[in-house]
A and B are shown apart, each in its own frame.
Chain A
Amino acid sequence: MRHLIRASLLLSVLALAGCTAARPEPSPPVAATVAPAPTAGVDTETEALAPALPTPTAVPEATIAQEESAAEAPDAQVAWADVATVDGDYFVRGNPMAPIRLIDFSDFL
């Protein structure tokens, strides 16, 4: 009987882990761990398994904020050519965190 209860609880844990595994960012796999055997004389199965569940971490929102993605390697999925910012006196086109700044000194005429 205990086996049946334990098995059903384990299945529930695995199902819950599957639901929380869909994340936009790669993250360490959520591993369902099996709690150690309950101490003799105490029916702590449910309590033993529940604390074994890893605490779900907040799923970071996928952002396309210029500052966050720009600080990492240039992201080909961001249409940098369509991005414009202001830096001091300059209007800047492209990744504002790009390691190379090319300044064009030109007259429109």
Chain B
Amino acid sequence: MLRVEPEIIRSYVASGEVQLAFHHVLDHGNASALAHRAAECAGAQDAFAFWRLHDLLFERQDQLWQADVAALAALAGETGVDTTAFTACMEDPASADKVTRMDQARRERGIRLRPSFDVNGQLVEGGIPYKAFQQVLAEAGAAPR
């Protein structure tokens, strides 16, 4: 997650200038895959539940290494999703296929560093300070801050 993501959301997403999208990166095997599938399965019920669980997964990152489907369902339940439907989704191979496919796509694009981000096609790899983000967004057409 971008460390500056909350600030970007407050300053740029809230104003309507920037839309934020998330691309799955699976760098830690099955633990990563389960966590990303969890976000997908929350999103399958409610698009904003994806983002609520996205935030929760980053907050509870230390719990994810050993988390199983039940533990992830409990986390998902905190976002308000139906945990029965969530669990069923986690058992559906489609969620695994999607996150794997997206991860493969970023590998093929040569994206290796985390986080990396794409701003209207311009790739910036690695975490950068917020001021640097402001510059990138300004170059992309965002109003100066």
Is the CB of B8 closer than 8 A to any CB of chain A?
yes
Is the CB of A25 closer than 8 A to any CB of chain B?
no
Say yes or no: B51 contacts A93, CB within 8 Å. yes
Say yes or no: A109 contacts B23, CB within 8 Å. no
**Chain B residues with a Cβ closer than 8 Å to the other chain, count:** 56
**Chain A residues with a Cβ closer than 8 Å to the other chain, count:** 35
Map CB proximity to A onto B120-138 as digits: 1 under 8 Å, 0 otherwise: 1000000000000000010
Residue of B20, B27, B120 near A92 (CB, 8 A) is B20
Minimum distance in angstroms from B142 CB to a CB of chain A = 6
User: Please, how many angstroms separate the alpha-carbon atoms of A82 and B10 in the complex?
Assistant: 11
Identify which of residues 57-109 in chain A touch chain B, using a CB-to-CB cut-off of 8 Å.
70, 74-76, 78-87, 89-109
Is the CB of B77 closer than 8 A to any CB of chain A?
no
What chain A residues lie within 8 Å of B19 (beta carbons)?
Answer: 92-98, 100-102
User: Please, how many angstroms separate the alpha-carbon atoms of A82 and B16 in the complex?
Assistant: 11
Say yes or no: A103 contacts B25, CB within 8 Å. no
What chain A residues lie within 8 Å of B9 (beta carbons)?
Answer: 81, 93-94
User: Please, how many angstroms separate the alpha-carbon atoms of A70 and B28 in the complex?
Assistant: 38
Residue of A nearest to B113 (CB): A105
Beyond contacts A89-B101, A108-B57: 15 other A-B pairs, Cβ-Cβ < 8 A, are A70-B16, A79-B14, A91-B22, A91-B43, A91-B54, A92-B20, A94-B20, A95-B13, A99-B120, A100-B141, A100-B142, A101-B20, A102-B21, A105-B118, A109-B64
